Amino acid sequence: MTVAACAELVRRGDPDRFRAVMAAPAHARPQLMPLYAFNLEVARAPWVTQEPLIAEMRLQWWRDVVENASSGAARAHEVAEPLHELIRDFGLPLDVMDRLIAARRWDIDREAHAGPEGLAQYLEDTGAGLMWLAARALGAPDGAEGAVRAFGWATAAAGYLRAVPELASRGRHPLPEGMSAADLAQLGLARLTEARKARKTVPKDVAPALLAGWQTEGLLRQVVAGQGSPELSEAAKRWKLLWQAFTGRW
């Protein structure tokens, strides 16, 4: 099982992150592709079946995969084996990965989040956790965690807002009672500002891990302006990705 197999999964299932990785320096791609493939597999696990028990089993399988990585045991799976190597070689925090998987249980149920705090924690465990894992895979020090997680949270909020119409069409309750899309977007922009204030704590070598958030500010501002289904034009996407990849600024 190879990184190339992971890359193909990400290309088909998560094209925005694929573009971000391909804009990163070549040496960073072997770390990022297995991680994003893992995230994709976990994120879609609740949606590939109508049976909650089977979805729970799929998530538990990934929790077992992560737990077994600490012993060096590899499973014959196109993502699990490269993921094990990544965990072993870069010492990725297993607790962060476990929380990322566990948070996806919300996607199985049809209940609303437990208030704004519940949604905030969901975004923390999924998007913010994923970006911190990516940063750690590229050598981020402990002192960079606050900035990376804040940027990851904002990025997760932007992605979540893009998914709100689809979630609603599938019978979910994406926004807690009393919270509007604009409210969530404002919180995302606040976290984005927080991340940028602490930008100096993030070494330049870690910048490729943050490329996945290249659309974040534009999408959040669209929602604040009243656009219900935020989406950047292809020209804007290309320009923003190239600018962030070239300058390293986010």
Q: Residue 125 is part of which domain span?
A: 110-250
* Same-domain pairing of 47 and 119: no
**pTM for the structure as a whole:** 0.95
**Span 54-74, average pLDDT:** 83
Own/partner contacts of 51-58, CB < 8 Å, gap of 24 or more, are 52/108, 52/109, 55/107, 55/108, 56/105, 56/108
CA distance 245 to 250: 9
Q: What percent of the chain lies above the pLDDT cut of 70? A: 97
Domain boundary among 90, 109, 128: 109
8-state DSSP, 114: S
Where are any strands of DSSP class E within 70-201? Answer: none
pLDDT at 199: 96
* Same-domain pairing of 139 and 207: yes
Domain boundary among 81, 109, 137: 109
Tokens describing residue 131: 């970006």
- Encode pLDDT of 142-199 as tens digits: 999 999 999 999 999 999 999 999 999 988 899 999 999 999 999 999 999 999 999 9
Which of 161, 58, 36, 149 minimizes the C-alpha distance to 102? 58
Buried b (16+ CB within 10 A) or exposed e, 37-46: bbbbbbbebb
* Same-domain pairing of 31 and 126: no
pLDDT classification of 228: cutoffs 50, 70, 90: confident
CA distance 89 to 144: 20
pLDDT classification of 91: cutoffs 50, 70, 90: very high
* Same-domain pairing of 117 and 241: yes
pLDDT at 131: 98
Neighbouring C-beta atoms of residue 126, cutoff 10 Å: 26
Domain boundary among 109, 142, 161: 109
Ranges 44-53, 135-144, 202-211, 218-227: which has the least confidence: 44-53
Please check the confidence at residue 75 and state whether its pLDDT lies above 80. no
Tokens describing residue 24: 């990163």
